[in-house]
Structure 1
Amino acid sequence: MSDAERDFDVVVVGGGMVGAAFAAALSGKGLSIAVIEAREPARDWPKGEIDLRVSALSRASQRILERLDVWSRIEALGCSPYRHMHVWDAVGGGEIHFDSASVGQADLGHIVENRVIQLALWETLEHLQDVTLFCPGAISDMERAGGVSRLLFTDGRAIECGLLVGADGRDSLVRSLAGIETEGWDYGQKAIVANVKPAERHQETAWQRFLPTGPLALLPLADGRCSIVWSATDARAAELMAMEDQDFSNALTDAFEARLGRLGVDGPRAAVPLRLQHAKHYVQPGLALIGDAAHAIHPLAGQGVNLGFLDAAELAVALEYAIAHGRNIGGLWALRRYERARRGDNMLMLAAMDAFKRLFGNDHPALSTARSLGLRATDRVAPLKRLFMERALGLGVDLPPLAAA
Structure 2
Amino acid sequence: MTQAFDIVIVGAGMVGAALATGLGRNGFRVALVDRGSAPTFDASLSPDIRVSALSAGSERYLAELDVWSDILSMRATAYSRLAVWDETQHPLSNLFPRKIAEVVFDARNLSTSHLGHIVENRVTQQALWNCAASLSTVSLFADNAVARLDNGQDHASVALEDGTELTCQLVVGADGAASVVRDIAGIGVTRDQYQQQAMVISVRYQGPVEDITWQGFYPSGPRAFLPLHSAGNGESWASLVWYDSPEELARLKSLDNEALMAEIQNAFPPELPPLTHIDARASFPIARQHARNYVKNRVVLVGDAAHTINPLAGQGVNLGFQDARALQNVVREARRAGLNLADPAWLTQYERQRRPANRRMMLAMDVFYHLFSNRTPPLHLLRNLGLGAAKAMPFARNRVAKYAMGIDEELPPVIRQLAERLPGLRQL
Partner Cα distance (2:386, 2:409) in 1: 27
Contact 2:48 2:120 in 1 (8 A): yes
Distance 1:184 1:202 in 2: 38
Match of 1:91 in 2: 88
| 2:38 alignment partner in structure 1 | 41
Q: Which residue is equivalent to 1:402? A: none
Q: Find the aligned partners of 2:295 and 2:54 in 1 and give their Cα distance.
A: 26
Q: Does 1:194 align with 2:191?
A: no
What's the counterpart of residue 181 of structure 2? 174
**1:248-397 matched pairs, under 5 angstroms:** 248-396=260-408
Partner of 2:51: 54
CA distance in 2, matches of 1:111, 1:71: 13
Moved more, 182-191 or 376-385: 182-191
1:184 counterpart residue number? 191
1:207 Cα deviation from its structure 2 partner: 1.1
Contact 1:199 1:260 in 2 (8 A): no
**TM superposition shift of 1:41:** 2.9
Q: Partner amino acid for 1:106? A: S
Distance in 1 of aligned mates of 2:223 and 2:80: 19
2:76 maps to 1:79? yes
Give me the whole-angstrom Cα distance separating, in 2, the residues matched to 1:328 and 1:338.
15
C-alpha deviation, 1:75, in angstroms: 0.5
Match of 2:420 in 1: none
For the residue of structure 2 that corresponds to 1:266, the secondary structure is: strand
Is 1:230 the counterpart of 2:242 in the alignment? yes
Question: Partner letter of residue 256 of structure 1?
Answer: F
Q: Secondary structure at the match of 1:267?
A: strand
Aligned partner of 2:110: which letter? V
What's the secondary structure of 2:156's corresponding residue? strand
Partner deviation per Cα, 1:5-35 (whole Å, 9 max, x = no partner)? 1111100000110001001111243421100
Instruction: Give the drift of 1:303.
Output: 0.2
Tell me which amino acid in the other structure corresponds to 2:219: P
Q: Aligned letter for 1:169? A: G
What displacement does 1:265 show? 4.4
| 1:323-354 CA-partner distances (Å, limit 9, x unpaired) | 11122111111111111110011011112212
CA distance in structure 2 between the aligned counterparts of 1:346 and 1:265, rounded to whole angstroms: 37
Shift of residue 202, structure 1, vs aligned partner: 5.7
Distance 1:110 1:46, change over 3 A: closer
Q: What SS class does the counterpart of residue 169 from structure 2 fall into?
A: strand
Structure 2 gap segments, 5+ residues each: 90-98, 231-235, 411-428
CA distance in 1 between partners of 2:23 and 2:152 (Å): 24
Aligned pair partner of 2:155 in 145, 148, 151: 148
Q: Which residue of 2 aligns with 1:20?
A: 17
Aligned partner of 1:243 in structure 2 is: 255
Deviation at 1:191, TM superposition (A): 1.4
Contact 1:15 1:167 in 2 (8 A): yes
Shift of 1:264: 4.1
| C-alpha distance after superposition, 1:291-333 (max 9, x if no partner) | 0000011110110000000000000000111111122111111
In the alignment, which of 146, 163, 172 is matched to residue 170 of structure 2? 163
Q: What amino acid sits opposite 1:189 in the alignment? A: Q
CA deviation vs aligned residue, 1:142-161 (integer Å, no higher than 9, x gap): 12222322212122222111
Q: Kindly state the Cα deviation for residue 200 of structure 1 after the two structures are TM-superposed.
A: 4.6
Q: What is the one-letter code of the residue matched to 1:209?
A: G
Is the contact between residue 193 and residue 270 of structure 1 (CA under 8 Å) also seen in structure 2?
yes
CA distance in 1, matches of 2:175, 2:212: 32
Greater alpha carbon shift after TM alignment, 367-376 vs 69-78: 367-376
Bigger mean CA offset, 27-36 vs 107-116: 27-36
CA 1:244–1:79 in 2, change beyond 3 Å: closer, same or farther? same
TM-score between both structures, scaled by the size of structure 2: 0.89
Report how far residue 198 of structure 1 moved: 3.0
Q: TM-score, normalised by structure 1?
A: 0.94
Q: What percentage of aligned pairs have identical amino acids?
A: 38
Task: Tell me which amino acid in the other structure corresponds to 1:286.
Answer: R
> Contact (CA 8 Å) 1:218, 1:227: kept in 2 or not?
yes
Aligned-residue CA RMSD (Å): 1.5
Q: Which amino acid aligns with 2:333?
A: Y
The one-letter code of the counterpart of 2:39 is: A
> Aligned partner of 1:208: which letter?
Q
How many matched pairs?
Answer: 395
Q: Secondary structure at the match of 1:27?
A: helix
Cα distance change of structure 1 residues 46 and 66 upon mapping to structure 2, 3 Å threshold = closer
SS at match of 1:6: strand
- Assess if the C-alpha contact under 8 Å between 2:43 and 2:74 holds in 1: no
